[in-house]
Chain A
Amino acid sequence: MSSWHIPEPTLRGWVHGRVDMVAAASVEQHLLGCPPCRAQVAVLQRSTPASGAVDLEQVWTAIADQVEPQPMPRLVRWLMRAGMRETDARLTSAAPALSTAWFTGLAVVLLFTVVASSFAPDRALVLFLMVAPLVPVAGVAAAYGADVDPTFELTLAAPYPKLRLLLLRTAAVAAGCVPLTVLAGLLVAGPWWVAVVWLLPALALVLLALAGSTFVPLGWATGGVAMAWLAVSVAPVVRQNPAALVDPRLLLGMGLLAALAGIVLATRLRHLATDWGIR
């Protein structure tokens, strides 16, 4: 045992984690062979600031809060104004589908459709009716999953509920892209109801993708749903027949599919024993 002992300020700094790595290593080495210094550590750990005394750690944290304020992104503020709590708003806002780049890309595609409609109305109309229901599906695909989220592996290992994250992001993406697509629909040459008629197929496709994501990865589910819709739409597009995509029988079928997918999703969520499938 050494006759030298660690000075109290140094020991106090070590107890409060305020010494650098090198000094900390030296202190720890000394403590291994020095019972009096270990006893002093116990005393320092038990001691609490007396009433009225200044807690330097608290003061420092308060100063750090002032010196290093962490700005709240605009999107987070909007989501909080819409009623989300801060945690949910921050996690939702990190979805790639809520990035400026994604919305810019979407706006460009929709703008192209609107401009094209003035040159070839029927072709643009049928293209719009084919593409519009896929917009929210693409948004959901770009909101969650290993293909789009670089921190996805860490998301899976974290306690935050994956399903909650998926649904919150889906809702946020829909809230962002649906008004934009409706606006494009109003500008596309054709009857006014074109702007909203695609919402029913879109709802069915999104619900089918979400229900599918409880069985297979979300990317597969959204990809499969999109392929199926394209298969349905290809003949009307080739024939430049927009009426086929607003056929009441097709819309009724999509409505039934939406209801069925909703039931499957609700049942799966209620009975899903594990969240391994939400990925």
Chain B
Amino acid sequence: MTPTVDLADVVHRYGSTTALDRVTLRLETGVTGLLGPNGAGKSTLMRVLATVINPDGGTVRLLGRDTADADQRTQVRRQLGYLPQELGFPRGFTAFGFVDYLALLKEFDDRPTRQAEVRRALDLVGLRDVATTRVRRLSGGMRRRLGLAQALLGDPRLLVLDEPSTGLDPEQRAVLRTLLSRAAGHATVVVSTHQTEDVAALCDRVVVLDSGQVAFDGSVADLVDHAAGRVWVAEHPDPDAAAQWRTGTGLHRNLGTPPPGAHLVEPTLEDAYLLLRNDTARATP
């Protein structure tokens, strides 16, 4: 089966900084979480997947089409939904007007069809009731959902969402997960996030980027396994731990080698991610 996303040795630079360094990825239907520290290249990779930037090297095939070719790229864009990390809103637009404007850019030319699709998208994110409210009057969480609504227009086959849960409260994040898991039944959803709990709850697969390179690519369970036998709870912090913090119970969670008197606990995805980051940093000369 042709993968929805097929990247081979993708390189992108900003001046002398290499943002993506020979990234090779093949993604199919389902939700893939993209994790990594700030500056790891996540947003650059998302912009490549959204056909916003042309990488300096390598090949990008999305939905079976080569994005280096203008016609094929346009075909990809017809089946693409994109939520950038930072989304601006034109002055004076209502929630409906904003999504309607994006629907025009997505070539919904027929007015009744377009307006029905805009209503559907606003319904999906629970913003139908504020359709006629000016965007500047909406809360940060509502604006993020509005951004998500425009990404869902046309039920795209490839959804590229850069930090979609930013600014959402727990209830809204649960709705987001429901939405994305539904979309993942027939689409490839790539979610860049700092929220490991979102990845654990939602994603079939996780990719960790570090310094522009793929540091991990596999299932969430595989990444969690990476931390098996390395997460300890003790009464005291371990100064040699890869990471440690005091939990709500008053005990200290230590990642790495066991401090005296510690007992082993089940790792979470966050533990595994932190340990992976620590291991990668140590391996880097």
B104 touches A276 (CB 8 A): no
Q: Write the A242-279 contact mask toward B (1 if CB under 8 angstroms, else 0).
A: 00000000000000000000000000000001111000
Contacts of B88 in A (CB 8 A): 150-151
B116 touches A61 (CB 8 A): yes
A155 CA to B107 CA in the complex, in Å? 12
Does A87 touch B at the CB level, under 8 Å? yes
A91 touches B70 (CB 8 A): no
Instruction: Please tell me which one of the listed residues A68, A153, A274 contacts residue B131 in the complex, with CB atoms under 8 A apart.
Output: A68
Q: Write the A131-152 contact mask toward B (1 if CB under 8 angstroms, else 0).
A: 0000000000000000001110
Instruction: Please tell me which one of the listed residues A151, A156, A273 contacts residue B70 in the complex, with CB atoms under 8 A apart.
Output: A273
Does A180 touch B at the CB level, under 8 Å? no
Does B90 touch A at the CB level, under 8 Å? yes
A91 touches B115 (CB 8 A): no
B77 touches A157 (CB 8 A): yes
Instruction: Please tell me which one of the listed residues B53, B74, B82, B100 contacts residue A70 in the complex, with CB atoms under 8 A apart.
Output: B100
Does A94 touch B at the CB level, under 8 Å? yes
A90 touches B104 (CB 8 A): yes
Instruction: Please tell me which one of the listed residues B47, B87, B105 contacts residue A160 in the complex, with CB atoms under 8 A apart.
Output: B105
Does B58 touch A at the CB level, under 8 Å? no
Does A50 touch B at the CB level, under 8 Å? no
For chain A, the count of residues having a C-beta within 8 Å of the partner chain is 32
A150 touches B112 (CB 8 A): no
A157 CA to B54 CA in the complex, in Å? 12
Does B167 touch A at the CB level, under 8 Å? no
A96 CA to B90 CA in the complex, in Å? 9
The A-contacting residues of B in range 111-167, CB under 8 angstroms, are: 111-112, 115-116, 119-120, 123, 126, 131-132, 150
A68 CA to B127 CA in the complex, in Å? 14
B102 touches A150 (CB 8 A): no
A68 CA to B100 CA in the complex, in Å? 13
Does A159 touch B at the CB level, under 8 Å? yes
Residue of A nearest to B82 (CB): A157
A156 CA to B90 CA in the complex, in Å? 16
Does A154 touch B at the CB level, under 8 Å? yes
Contacts of B75 in A (CB 8 A): 159
A154 touches B100 (CB 8 A): no
B90 touches A159 (CB 8 A): no
Contacts of A70 in B (CB 8 A): 96-97, 100, 115
Does A55 touch B at the CB level, under 8 Å? no
With A68-B131, A154-B102: A94-B96 Cβ-Cβ less than 8 Å = no
With A94-B90, A151-B88: A159-B107 Cβ-Cβ less than 8 Å = yes
Does B78 touch A at the CB level, under 8 Å? yes
Does A158 touch B at the CB level, under 8 Å? yes
Does A227 touch B at the CB level, under 8 Å? no
The A-contacting residues of B in range 82-104, CB under 8 angstroms, are: 82, 84, 87-91, 96-97, 100-102, 104
B77 touches A158 (CB 8 A): yes
A69 CA to B104 CA in the complex, in Å? 17
A61 CA to B90 CA in the complex, in Å? 27
Residue of A nearest to B105 (CB): A158
Does B169 touch A at the CB level, under 8 Å? no
A154 touches B178 (CB 8 A): no
A98 to chain B: closest CB distance in Å?
A: 11
- In the complex, which of the residues B105, B106, B116, B132 has the most CB atoms of chain A within 10 Å of its own CB atom? B105
A94 touches B101 (CB 8 A): yes
Contacts of A17 in B (CB 8 A): 120, 123
Chain B interface residues (CB < 8 Å from chain A): 47, 50-54, 68-70, 73-75, 77-78, 80, 82, 84, 87-91, 96-97, 100-102, 104-107, 109, 111-112, 115-116, 119-120, 123, 126, 131-132, 150, 175, 178
Q: List 20 A-B contacts (CB under 8 A).
A: A70-B96, A70-B100, A86-B109, A86-B111, A87-B107, A90-B100, A90-B101, A91-B101, A91-B104, A153-B52, A153-B87, A154-B87, A154-B105, A157-B50, A157-B51, A159-B77, A160-B106, A160-B107, A273-B70, A275-B70
Chain A interface residues (CB < 8 Å from chain B): 17, 21, 24-25, 61, 64-65, 68, 70, 85-87, 90-91, 94, 96, 99, 149-151, 153-160, 273-276
What 9 A-B pairs have minimum CB-CB distances, sorted nearest first? A150-B88, A158-B105, A159-B77, A157-B82, A157-B50, A153-B84, A160-B105, A276-B54, A156-B52
Other A-B pairs, 20, CB within 8 Å; known A96-B90, A150-B90, A159-B106: A17-B123, A70-B115, A86-B111, A90-B100, A90-B104, A91-B101, A91-B104, A91-B105, A94-B101, A99-B91, A150-B88, A151-B90, A151-B102, A154-B84, A154-B105, A156-B51, A157-B51, A157-B80, A157-B82, A273-B70
